Amino acid sequence: MADRVADSRRAVYVISVAAELAGVHPQTLRIYERKGLVDPARTDGGSRRYSEGDIEQLRRIQDLTSAGLNLEGVKRVLALEAEVERLEAEIAAAREAARDAVEQTHRKYRRDLVPVSKSIVVFDRRR
Amino acid sequence: MADRVADSRRAVYVISVAAELAGVHPQTLRIYERKGLVDPARTDGGSRRYSEGDIEQLRRIQDLTSAGLNLEGVKRVLALEAEVERLEAEIAAAREAARDAVEQTHRKYRRDLVPVSKSIVVFDRRR
DNA sequence: GTGACCTTAACGACGCGTAATTGTGG
DNA sequence: GCCACAATTACGCGTCGTTAAGGTCA
């Protein structure tokens, strides 16, 4: 973690290597980029550089296209999968917030209570 | 609500009407069915009967295909959209459960407390 | 008996991946 | 100066929607 950027974001692969890693034709990667499915970094000279995260995205795209989806479908599915992930995180957060809220409520009452043994004498006059 | 089935599930439209309502060719509806995108009811004679819900599904499919998705993509997107809807409901449920849990906690303490004015005399001996 | 439904097959248009071409950068 | 990159274009294949042909139910 001494790196300047996280490993999965370091753009290190040129297009030929990225294509090999993802198991597709280099030209296919250029098509994906034009269609907005990946967005690799660029060198000053204009060459594409793919990160590990880009490669994962490419593999995910491969899964979907070889399942028969076209590129528009892949785009939507990726967006929806991200949405699902976000919602699942939100559920986890909501559950945790629920636990905390109950806990806080308990604390509040405990703080307000005064220990009987050391401080008060109680006489119950009821019936 | 005196109907045997909910309105949106009553299969009332023959294929030509369904196609007209959805704005597509009847043959297209048969393709959708073969691909598993809709599943209209059948009469005893074997004719398809589409419900209002089916029509809505067909319109949704139209939206997606005319946005450029192919049928596999449509299938996945519909499934994911259902998942998103389910998760959103789950979030709402989790939030409600959180409120209830806090409320229950409050009740618990109130039940355990004994009203001072009517039942007890309290002497605070603390310094 | 005449429509509207059923299924299967054929056709045209379009999207996607690959290959070819030409030009540029390391 | 060579090899890999970039961008554009061309080609083949598969998918999708429509149309057509032939059979069945109301």
Give residues lining strand D (CB < 7 Å): A 14-17, 26-27, 30, 46-48, 68; B 24-25, 27-28, 31-32, 35, 43-46, 65, 70-72
Task: Please say whether the dihedral angle defined by the alpha carbons of residues B99, B102, B108 and B111, taken in this order, is positive or negative.
Answer: negative
In order, the DSSP letters of A22-56 are HTS-HHHHHHHHHTTS---EE-TTS-EEEEHHHHH
The whole-number pLDDT of residue A12 equals 93
Position B4 pLDDT exceeds 80: no
Nearest residue to A111 (alpha-carbon basis) of B115, B99, B125, B109: B109
d(CA A29, CA A38): 8
* Window 24-63 of chain A: CB closer than 7 A to strand C: 24-25, 27-28, 31-32, 35, 43-47
Q: Do A14 and A45 form a contact (C-beta atoms < 8 A)? A: no
pLDDT at B123: 61
Measure B77 CA to D16 C1' (Å). Answer: 18
Per residue in A5-48, pLDDT (tens digit) is 667 889 899 999 999 999 999 999 999 999 999 999 999 989 99
Quick check: B49 and B43 in contact, CB under 8 A?
A: yes
**B49 pLDDT exceeds 70?**
yes
Tokens of B26: 């009847």
**A71-112 and A52-66 helices cross at what angle (nearest 10)?**
120
- pLDDT tens digits for B11-36? 899 999 999 999 999 999 999 999 99
- Looking at CA atoms only, how far is residue B7 from chain A in angstroms? 30
Which ranges constitute the DSSP H helices of B23-124? 26-34, 52-66, 71-112, 116-119
Pick out the nucleotide with least CA–C1' distance to B72: D15
pLDDT per residue as tens digits for the range A84-106 = 999 999 999 999 988 998 999 88
Measured to protein CB atoms, the chain C nucleotides within 7 Å are: 4-9, 15-20, 25-26
pLDDT tens track for B62-117: 999 999 999 999 999 999 999 999 999 999 999 998 899 899 988 988 876 655 55
CB A29 within 8 Å of CB A21? no
Average pLDDT, chain A: 88
| pLDDT exceeds cutoff 80 at B5 | no
Instruction: Say whether B69 and A70 touch across the interface (CB within 8 A).
Output: yes
- Copy the structure tokens of residue A27: 């030209």
Answer yes or no: is pLDDT of A82 > 60: yes
Residue B69 contacts residue A72 (beta carbons within 8 Å) = yes
CA distance A24 to chain B (A): 20
Element housing B43 (H / E): none
| Local structure of A107: helix, strand or coil | helix
Would you say A22 and A55 are in contact if contact means Cβ atoms under 8 Å apart?
A: yes
CA nearest A21: which of A47, A54, A68, A66? Answer: A54
Between the CA of residue B127 and those of A110, A119, B6, what are the distances in Å? 21, 9, 71
Testing the interface with A: which of B69, B85, B88, B100 to mutate, by most A Cβ within 10 A?
A: B69
Here the tokens at position A8 are 């999965």
